[in-house]
Chain A
């Protein structure tokens, strides 16, 4: 039997493992080398596929006639907005990358909605308010930002994605978008915002995720 034959299986195994290691370490560099930066800046295109995450067995259904957004807690004037009233607020557009902490991303996503700052200015945060909690209509999911993070210009409550109203899977009618943070901060199906003076850990943060979700 030849030397190659005696260890052929092992050689095959080593080659496959080296190929896997090269893919792990080199796939991003390969992708970057394939993209021409000028093309990207001239016509930014959204690249990637959103994966759909939900922690309950059924996603909330959106009824435009019955839906309400409440902004309560440490505010001067609690707000209760219907869907048409939400749409009447000053809208802003934003193009940003969406990154999930599980490793996937979607680049150049066009969001449209109301900045959290606009809403909070409307209801007037009390001086004691330090945190802003965002609750999902699914009754389970929530997450929070500091007041400063919530007031950042790019912190958005989006109702349109890629020029279309949010789909049910994407959190219709309203989801939080925080481009500088991982996607688990982006509460979907938002129907309640509450200002507090103490930190409340979000759904995944209670299960080990970091409350500081800034991208690294």
Chain B
């Protein structure tokens, strides 16, 4: 039987997929409300706006609730995500040079690759500022704020959305490029072979913890 390595807790996976589903819903309804070509074709502004607002609640509350239920794995992963080893900086430098034509060997990575660490920072920042600016826009609709603040909120909300699109597409592309990584986020575990190849430093550190390799 194939050896498997536990990668994500149930709560982390629920949080990820809730966030993912609501991000797609927010993006679809947001673009339909924003782009004249789509909004003129679809109409139904009140329905789209309601779905957008409800999705925003799910986008924040459901992942937060899931993660709050089991904080230990989350806190460990947060620590891993915010920590950059010397190998991570080296990985970044060598990858940049590889893009320019070099063929340098990349250092072994921990549980999260440099790309995943960058993505986590972007995602968290984007989530916070979409929520803040979205709340300001909603507040302005109900009880108009100072004009400049409302204008700035909609400017930042739009700007972040257009930054989010390539980041999200890149994230999906990597998930499809590495199906075992995607399986890890669905099932919670990955093959030991994949883990050794892509996250060698992490696997090394797990050897002492036999319960996480099965």
**A58 CA to B44 CA in the complex, in Å?**
8
Q: A17 near B: Cβ within 8 Å?
A: yes
Q: A8 near B: Cβ within 8 Å?
A: yes
Q: Chain A nearest CB: distance from B205 CB in Å?
A: 14
**A104 CA to B89 CA in the complex, in Å?**
41
Determine if B137 and A103 form an interchain contact, defined as CB atoms under 8 angstroms apart.
Answer: yes
Interface size class for chain B? 35 or more
Chain A 199-216 interface 0/1 with B at a Cβ cutoff of 8 Å (1 = within): 000000001111000011
**A7 CA to B121 CA in the complex, in Å?**
12
Query: A103-B137, A169-B36, A216-B146 in contact; A55/B43 too (CB < 8 A)?
Result: yes
Chain B residues with Cβ under 8 A from A56's Cβ?
Answer: 43-44
Query: A53-B39, A101-B141 in contact; A27/B152 too (CB < 8 A)?
Result: yes
Question: A35-43, A44-52, A77-85: which one contacts chain B?
Answer: A44-52
Chain A residues with Cβ under 8 A from B133's Cβ?
Answer: 24
Chain B residues with Cβ under 8 A from A135's Cβ?
Answer: none
Determine if B144 and A182 form an interchain contact, defined as CB atoms under 8 angstroms apart.
Answer: yes
Chain A residues with Cβ under 8 A from B137's Cβ?
Answer: 102-103
Determine if A16 and B39 form an interchain contact, defined as CB atoms under 8 angstroms apart.
Answer: no
Query: A1-B85, A103-B153, A105-B151 in contact; A17/B39 too (CB < 8 A)?
Result: no
Determine if B144 and A216 form an interchain contact, defined as CB atoms under 8 angstroms apart.
Answer: yes
Q: B40 near A: Cβ within 8 Å?
A: yes
| Pick from B36, B42, B81, B150: contact of A50, CB under 8 Å | B36
**A147 CA to B174 CA in the complex, in Å?**
61
| Pick from B125, B132, B140, B149: contact of A102, CB under 8 Å | B140
Interface residue tally for chain A (C-beta within 8 Å): 44
Q: B197 near A: Cβ within 8 Å?
A: no
Q: Chain B nearest CB: distance from A50 CB in Å?
A: 7
Q: B68 near A: Cβ within 8 Å?
A: no
- Number of residue pairs spanning A and B whose beta carbons lie under 8 angstroms apart: 127
Q: Chain B nearest CB: distance from A99 CB in Å?
A: 7
Q: Smallest CB-CB separation from A23: which chain B residue? A: B156
Determine if B39 and A54 form an interchain contact, defined as CB atoms under 8 angstroms apart.
Answer: yes
Summarize A's interface: helix, strand, loop or mixed.
loop
Chain A residues with Cβ under 8 A from B146's Cβ?
Answer: 216
Chain A residues with Cβ under 8 A from B122's Cβ?
Answer: 16
Chain B residues with Cβ under 8 A from A208's Cβ?
Answer: 141-142
Q: Chain A nearest CB: distance from B76 CB in Å?
A: 14
Q: A20 near B: Cβ within 8 Å?
A: yes
Q: Which residues of B contact A (CB under 8 A)?
A: 33-34, 36, 39-40, 42-46, 81-86, 88-89, 117-118, 120-122, 124-125, 128-129, 132-133, 137, 140-157, 159-160
Chain A 7-37 interface 0/1 with B at a Cβ cutoff of 8 Å (1 = within): 1111011001100100111011000000000
Determine if A53 and B45 form an interchain contact, defined as CB atoms under 8 angstroms apart.
Answer: yes
Query: A8-B84, A20-B156 in contact; A52/B39 too (CB < 8 A)?
Result: yes
Q: Chain B nearest CB: distance from A93 CB in Å?
A: 25
**A2 CA to B149 CA in the complex, in Å?**
40
Determine if B156 and A24 form an interchain contact, defined as CB atoms under 8 angstroms apart.
Answer: yes
Q: Chain B nearest CB: distance from A160 CB in Å?
A: 19
Chain A residues with Cβ under 8 A from B160's Cβ?
Answer: 20
Determine if A20 and B129 form an interchain contact, defined as CB atoms under 8 angstroms apart.
Answer: yes
Determine if A215 and B141 form an interchain contact, defined as CB atoms under 8 angstroms apart.
Answer: no
Determine if B84 and A27 form an interchain contact, defined as CB atoms under 8 angstroms apart.
Answer: no
Ordered by A's residue number, 8 sampled pairs between the chains whose C-beta atoms are within 8 Å are: A5-B86, A8-B88, A17-B128, A24-B133, A24-B156, A51-B34, A210-B142, A215-B144
Q: A59 near B: Cβ within 8 Å?
A: yes
Chain A residues with Cβ under 8 A from B85's Cβ?
Answer: 1, 5
Determine if B140 and A101 form an interchain contact, defined as CB atoms under 8 angstroms apart.
Answer: yes
Determine if B83 and A8 form an interchain contact, defined as CB atoms under 8 angstroms apart.
Answer: yes
Q: Chain B nearest CB: distance from A27 CB in Å?
A: 5
Determine if A9 and B121 form an interchain contact, defined as CB atoms under 8 angstroms apart.
Answer: yes
Q: A66 near B: Cβ within 8 Å?
A: no
**A208 CA to B86 CA in the complex, in Å?**
54
Chain A residues with Cβ under 8 A from B82's Cβ?
Answer: 7-10, 13
**A56 CA to B143 CA in the complex, in Å?**
25
